[in-house]
Amino acid sequence: MDKDRLAELLEDIGTLLELKGENPFKVRAYHNAARAIGQYQGPLEKAVKEGALSDIPGIGKGLSERIEEFSGTGHIKYYDELKSAIPPGMIEMLSIEGLGPRKIRAIHEKLGIDTVRELEEACRKNKIASLDGFGNKTQENILKGIQYLSSNQNKFLISDALREALRILGLLKKKCKGNIKRIEIAGSLRRKKELIGDIDFVASAPDPKKVMDVFASLEGVKDVIAKGSTKTSVKLDGGINADIRIVSDREFPYALHHFTGSKEHNTAMRALAKTKSMKMNEYGLFRKGRNVPCRNEKDIFDALGLSFIPPELREDRGEIEAASRGGIPRLVEEKDIKGVLHVHTSYSDGSASLEKMVAETKKRGYSYVGICDHSESAYYAGGLDESKLRKQWAEIDALNAEDRSFRIFKGIEVDIFPDGKIDYDERVLEKFDFVIASIHTKFKMTKEDMTERIIKAVKNPYTTMIGHLTGRLLLTREGYEVDIERIIEVCASEGKTIELNSHPQRLDLDWRFCKLAKERGVPISVNPDAHNAEGLDDITYGIGAARKGWLEKKDILNTRTAGELKKFFDKIKK
């Protein structure tokens, strides 16, 4: 049973009930149940079989029935009924930052608004500001949220796109075995962009029609948009479009390069080819009308006097100039990562125990883990007071004593207060191996004030690194305004580090600033911010972003051994 999916469904039911204006106690019951299921440590299937669900705090008879239904079918009919009874536009409004179920219901009841478009029009006509409990500032924030939502329409998180792409790739290789010669994921997904418009495949096959027929009829294909002999486009159940282009095997390297992009990189490459009296397009590389034979992309770059440019760097941000002088860095790889920092447990808002998260980290071949539950002031996430800290530290000490080959670092994710101070006093802070300082509240400060807030935290002698620097949640909210370049400079002068949060909804520090951090000598820690065992695997998205930011093994903090890391942490605290 997918426990996380169940918790998500129960949480969504609570939200939908709130949208409908149901009894607050009923709403709270579903939210509490979602939290209880997320933090439940035992095998849920066993509790279902033994009829012991009611032993879980917050799970009564009615909720037990919902969970049993999910266990048997993978669905909850009540959720489907609720969702179909609410206008889709009201559900879409939940994606607008700062607009919760209560406000959406109030807007619907007082103004009859049930689409985002109607909401935007009402804001522009100043109707929202006049509602009780709203005002001009709320109206202004709603408009900003709508604009952000609109700018990211038809875009998807890299995690969602990659999952679908790998599923389709596996099916095509299996169903078209013997026909497909070569096939690769292309487009922005291959370049590891944080947001993906659609999924692109490039393949070579002697019988394109067979591949097109299979592609168009794959499980998960909702609609066939266009189907031809060289290109077929479909819409998948999740809403993302997927295209496949089939070329001859001779054309494959050129097509793969072209459809990987970016458009800007391709334009610069064509200009370079022209200076060498060649012509370049998706069909080939031509000199005096004759194709220059290339077996793969490396041959294409060789023919143009360039070293190989990894797909992640193909954004026309200096990669061609670097390749012309042999200056492309050896980018960091997942195998270079020695351990993971920023891991949450059920001591705060994680869904797995400390022991479980340690075991899962070991299973993935790492040699250390940094436990970073939330600090005391983060009451919304079950932040740790001193008594819980002492209990956690005792458990960490016991686990470290059991296995000397693996190191558990005592970390914490402390809140940065609006005045720049961080949670806990020095007496507590000095006992941690390392401290991640992050902002979780008061996002609406001016750029100058927010920058000063973070800089003060950086300068705190106990701060090791800054977590998710801009606070952005991709497709949900923009990051707060902050002078990132200035913070990088201060981190450099203070000898501190910055997190590249690997959660696919964050990927923060943005890859566009990684190169600057590298140039200033600021180590980047690629952290999963894992709240469950599966979250540890999000490191793959962080590595993709780090590669896109030109980072090498030496630029990444957690490519160091546990011993080297301990020295780094201790040096900061001196």
- Classify residue 338: in a domain, yes or no: yes
Domain at 344, CATH number: 3.20.20.140
191 & 111 share domain: no
pLDDT at 539 over 90: yes
Residue 37's pLDDT is what? 87
Query: Which domain, by its residues, includes 386?
Result: 334-573
Quick one: pLDDT band at residue 537, thresholds 50, 70, 90? very high
Quick one: pLDDT band at residue 58, thresholds 50, 70, 90? confident
Quick one: pLDDT band at residue 573, thresholds 50, 70, 90? confident
Residue 412 CB partners (closer than 8 Å, separation 6+): 372, 373, 374, 375, 384, 389, 424, 432, 435, 436
Beta strands in 104-205 (DSSP E): 156-157, 182-186, 195-196, 198-204
Residue 410's pLDDT is what? 98
Residue 227 vs residues 174, 224, 234, 276: alpha-carbon distances, Å: 21, 7, 8, 38
pLDDT at 541 over 90: yes
- Classify residue 185: in a domain, yes or no: yes
pLDDT at 112 over 90: yes
Question: At residue 540, what is the residue type?
Answer: T
Which tokens belong to 477?
A: 């909210």
Residue 173 CB partners (closer than 8 Å, separation 6+): 180, 183
Q: How far apart are CA 214 and CA 171, in angstroms?
A: 9
Quick one: pLDDT band at residue 46, thresholds 50, 70, 90? confident
Q: Which of 155, 157, 127, 152 is nearest to 142 (CA)?
A: 127
175 & 36 share domain: no
Residue 554 CB partners (closer than 8 Å, separation 6+): none
Domain at 190, CATH number: 3.30.460.10
Among the candidates 221, 247, 273, a domain finishes at: 247
242 & 320 share domain: no
Q: How far apart are CA 319 and CA 311, in angstroms?
A: 10
Mean pLDDT, range 316-336, rounded to an integer: 97
- Total domain count for the chain? 4
Residue 148's pLDDT is what? 87
Q: How far apart are CA 108 and CA 241, in angstroms?
A: 32
Mean pLDDT, range 537-548, rounded to an integer: 98
- Classify residue 447: in a domain, yes or no: yes
363 & 316 share domain: no
Q: How far apart are CA 157 and CA 147, in angstroms?
A: 18
Q: How far apart are CA 296 and CA 473, in angstroms?
A: 37
Residue 76 vs residues 20, 69, 71, 79: alpha-carbon distances, Å: 18, 6, 9, 5
171 & 214 share domain: yes
For the CA atoms of 376, 381, 382, 383, the dihedral, rounded to the nearest 10 degrees, stands at: -20
241 & 115 share domain: no
509 & 522 share domain: yes
Q: pLDDT for 9-39, tens place per residue?
A: 999 999 999 999 998 999 999 998 988 887 7
Q: How far apart are CA 28 and CA 569, in angstroms?
A: 42
Among the candidates 213, 228, 247, a domain finishes at: 247
Phi, psi at 94, each rounded to 5°:
-60, -20
pLDDT higher at 90 or 54: 90
Which tokens belong to 456?
A: 């003060």
196 & 117 share domain: no
Mean pLDDT, range 65-80, rounded to an integer: 91
Pairing state between β 241-247 and 524-527 = unpaired
Question: At residue 94, what is the residue type?
Answer: L
- Classify residue 253: in a domain, yes or no: no
Residue 425's pLDDT is what? 94
Average pLDDT, the chain: 95
169 & 134 share domain: no
Pairing state between β 524-527 and 434-438 = unpaired
- Classify residue 133: in a domain, yes or no: yes
- Classify residue 329: in a domain, yes or no: no
Domain at 319, CATH number: 3.30.210.10
pLDDT at 149 over 90: no
Residue 44's pLDDT is what? 86
Quick one: pLDDT band at residue 380, thresholds 50, 70, 90? confident
Domain at 61, CATH number: 1.10.150.110
Q: Estimate the crossing angle of helix 158-175 against helix 208-216, to 10 degrees.
A: 130
DSSP string, 337-382: --EEEEE--TTTT-SS-HHHHHHHHHHTT-SEEEEEEEBTT-GGGT
266 & 347 share domain: no
Q: pLDDT for 222-263, tens place per residue?
A: 999 999 989 999 999 989 999 999 999 999 999 999 999 999
Residue 464's pLDDT is what? 98
Burial class (CB in 10 A: 0-12, 13-18, 19+), 421: middle
* Contact predicate 421/373, CB 8 Å: no
276 & 213 share domain: no
Tell me which of 190-194, 459-463, 472-476, 513-517 is least confident: 472-476
* Bridge partner list, 215: none
Q: Which of 532, 565, 525 is nearest to 546 (CA)?
A: 525
Mean pLDDT, range 195-217, rounded to an integer: 96
Among the candidates 132, 151, 170, a domain finishes at: 151
Phi, psi at 438, each rounded to 5°:
-135, 155
186 & 41 share domain: no
Q: pLDDT for 447-465, tens place per residue?
A: 999 999 999 999 999 999 9
